[in-house]
Chain A
Amino acid sequence: MAGRLKTILSRVAQAAPVVVGVVIVTFVLTRALPGDPAVYFAGAAADEASIAEIRTALGLDKSLPEQFVLYVGDLLRGDLGESISTGQPVVTELARRLPASLELTLTALLLSCGVAIPLGVLAATRPGSWADHLCRVLVTAGVSLPTFFTGLALIYVFYYLLGLAPTPIGRLDFIYLEPPRVTGFFLVDAALAGDWETWWGAARQIVLPAVTLALFTLAPICRITRAAMLQALSADFVRTARAAGLTRPTVIYRYAFHNAMLPVITTLGMVFSFTLGANVLVEKVFAWPGIGSYAVDALVVSDYAAVQGFVLAMALLFVALNLAIDIAYTLIDPRIGFEN
C-alpha cells in the first residue's frame, strides 16, 4: 500500500507542471488582448487621466513578470476578475453555472457509456452480427456529425414535428420552481426534495441536449470498447480460461471485459475533453444556462475576463479529471507503477 501511495503522490506531482503551464497560457491569453486593455476597459468617453488610472488599477503599468505574480496571487485568492457585462465576479458566475454544465455532461456520458459499452462488447463477441455493423456505422457517422447540427435536427424532429420535447429553453420550464439547491443538479435536488413533478420537468428538458452530446461521444467509446474487447478475447489467458472449461459468460465478463475496461477508462478522459468543448455548442443550441453559454455570451460582448476565466476553469477541470482517472487506474490495475 505504501508503494501505491507513493505512485499516487508522484502522479499528483506530475500534474503540477501541467497546472503551471495552464496558468501561464491563460495569463498570456489575457495579456494578448488586441489593443490596449486599459483603453478598452475605460470605455469610449475616457480621457488620458482616467485611462492611466485604470492602467494602474489593473496593474498594467508594471512589467510582465510582476503582472504574472499579481495574476497568480489573484488566482490563489480565487479572484478571476469581474465580468464587465454582468458586473459580477467571474468566479461566482462560473460556480453558479457549473452544476448545469456538469449535470448535462455527466448525464450524456452515462447515457453514451450505457449504450456504447454493451454495443462494443456485442460487436467484439459476435463479429459480423447486426451489433458489429451498427457499431461500425456509428463509429464512422458519429465522428462526422457536428454537435450543433445534431442538436438542431433533434429539436426539429422532436419539438417541431412530433411535439414530444418541451421548448428548448434552458433547464426548467418557467411553470416549475427551481428545486432547493443542494448539489445544483436539478435531477438530484428535485429527487432529494421528493418533488417528482419538477424532476419530470427537468428530465424532459435534459433529454435532447444529453442525447445530442451522447451521440457525439458514442463513436470513440464504441470504437475503443470493441478494439479492447477483441484484443482481450484473443489473449492467452482467455484461451486458457476457455480450455479450462469456464462458461462463456464467465470468460467474457470476468476475464475479457474486466481487462478491456482499462483502455476504455483512459479513452473516457479524452472523450471528456471533447465533451467539454462540444458542451459549449450544445448549450448554445438549447439555451442551457451552463458555463459554456456564459462564455459564448461573454464572447459576443468581448467580455474577456469572463472568457479567460472560463478557459482556465475548463482546463483545470480537465487536468483534475485526468488525474482522477490515472489514480483510479492505479487502484484498479496493480501492474501499473511509474518509473521514477
Chain B
Amino acid sequence: MADVSLHSGGGAGGSSALRHVVYVLRSNPVTLFAFAMLALLVFAALFGPAVAPYDPYASNAARALQPPSWDHWFGTDNLGRDVFSRVLVATRLDMAISVSAVALSFLVGSVLGAASGYWGGWTDRIASRVLDTIMAFPLFVLAMGIVAAMGNTIENVVYATAIINVPFYARLVRAEVNIRRNAGFALAAKLSGNADWRVLAVHIFPNALPPMMVQVSLNLGWAILNAAGLSFIGLGVRPPTAEWGIMVAEGANFIVSGEWWLALFPGLALMLAVFTFNLLGDGLRDMVDPRLRT
C-alpha cells in the first residue's frame, strides 16, 4: 500500500523514474552543471583539509598581503595565510552549518505541518499562530536576535537558521497532507486497521516529499547566505576560524586600499555555493513537477 501511494504521488515507478531523471538531465544541461558543481562542493567539504596546499591557520608575516600568484592561487591575507587553502577548508564548516540547519527545520517542519494538516482543530490553530508569529519578523533580524539571546556560538547559528526556516516546511507539508487527508488511499489504509500516525507517516507524508526536496535545495542556498551574513556581522563563527562570511568581513577592511583578493575569493565561493543550490532546486522542480517550469 505504501508503495502504491508513493508511486501514484511521484507519478513514475522505479526504472521509469530513473529514465525521467536521465531525460531531464540530458535535456537540461544547466541542471547537469548544477549536479557537477554540487559534486565539487561535496568533494571540497569532505577532502578540503586533505588537499589544501597550505595550513589554513599558519601565518607567515614575510608573505602577508601578496596578490594571487602561482604559489598562492588566491593570494595571502594580512597574516600571510593562504587564501585558497582557507576558502577550501571553509567549505566543510559552511556546508555543515547549512545542512544541519536545513535538516533540523525539515524534521520539525514536517512533524508540525503533518500534525496540523492531518488533525486540524486546535493543533492546527496553535501551530499556525506560532508560525505566523515567526513570519511576522524580518527573518534575518529574528536570527540575529535569537543568536544574541541564546549566546554567540556556531550551534546557536544553526538553531536560529533552523527556526526561521521551519514555517516554509511546515506550511508546505500542511497543505500537502491536508489535501490527501480524506483521499481514497488514506481512508483505505485507515480501514485496514492502521493507526492514525501510521497512515500519516507511511501513506500520506511520502507524497509531500517531492516538493519538499525542491524546498530543501532552495533553502540550503538561503541557509548558507544566512549563516554567512550572521558571521559577517560577527555572530557565530569567530576568527581565526576559516568561514566564508567572516573571511569576507576580514577582507572588507582591505577593499578600500585595493587588496581585493581577500574578500573576492571567499565571496565567490559563497556565491557559487548558493547559485548551485538554487540551480539545483530549479532543476529538481522540473523533475518533480514539469508544469511549473518557467
Counting CB contacts under 8 A, is A211 at the interface?
no
Q: How close is B252's CB to chain A, nearest CB, in angstroms? A: 6
Compute how far the CA of A304 lies from the CA of B141 in the bound complex, rounded to whole angstroms. Answer: 14
Q: How far is the CA of A133 from the CA of B203 in the complex (A)?
A: 42
- Among candidates A30, A145, A152, A315, residue contacting B263 with C-beta atoms closer than 8 Å: A152
B267 contacts which chain A residues (CB < 8 A)? 146, 149, 152-153
Q: Which residues on B sit within 8 Å (CB–CB) of A304? A: 148-149
Given A30-B149, A295-B144, check contact A146 B137 (CB 8 Å).
no
B279, closest chain A residue (CB): A140
Give the size category of B's interface with A. 35 or more
Binary interface encoding of chain B residues 237-278 relative to chain A, with 1 for a CB under 8 A from any of its CBs, else 0: 000000001001101100111101001100100110011001
CA distance A144 to B273 in the complex (A): 8
Q: How far is the CB of A296 from chain B (nearest CB, A)?
A: 5
- 20 A-B pairs within 8 Å (CB atoms) are namely A22-B137, A32-B150, A143-B274, A143-B278, A144-B278, A146-B232, A146-B274, A148-B232, A148-B248, A148-B249, A160-B255, A274-B139, A276-B138, A280-B141, A311-B137, A311-B141, A311-B145, A314-B138, A315-B141, A322-B136
Residues of A within 8 A of B148 (CB): 29, 299, 302, 304, 307-308
Question: Please, which residues of chain B bring their CB within 8 A of the CB of A29?
Answer: 145-146, 148-149
Query: Complex Cα distance A144/B220, Å?
Result: 11
A residues less than 8 Å from B221 (CB atoms): 143-144
Point out the residues of chain B lying under 8 angstroms from A147, CB to CB: 229
Q: What is the CA–CA distance of A268 and B82 in the complex, to the nearest angstrom?
A: 42
- CB pair B233 A280 closer than 8 Å: yes
Find out whether the CB atom of A146 lies under 8 angstroms from the CB atom of B228: yes
B192 interface residue, CB < 8 Å from A? Answer: no
A302 to B148, CA, bound (A): 8
Instruction: Report whether B256 and A160 are in contact in the complex, using a CB–CB cutoff of 8 Å.
Output: yes
Interface residues on A, range: 35 or more
Which one of B133, B234, B257 has the highest number of Cβ atoms from chain A below 10 Å of its Cβ? B133
Chain A nearest CB: distance from B25 CB in Å? 18
Question: Is the beta-carbon distance between B133 and A21 smaller than 8 angstroms?
Answer: yes
User: Residue on A with the closest CB to B262?
Assistant: A152
B89, CB-defined interface residue at 8 Å: no
Interface check A285, CB cutoff 8 A: yes
Chain A residues lying within 8 Å of B186, measured Cβ to Cβ, are: none
Within 8 A of A (CB), among B131-180: 132-134, 136-142, 144-146, 148-151
A285 touches B252 (CB 8 A): yes
B41 close to chain A: CB less than 8 A: no
Residues of B within 8 A of A194 (CB): none
Residue B129 lies at the interface, judged by CB distance under 8 Å to chain A: yes
| Distance (whole angstroms) from the CB of A33 to the closest CB of chain B | 6
Query: B81-108: contact bitstring with A at CB < 8 Å (1 yes, 0 no)?
Result: 0000000000000000000000000000
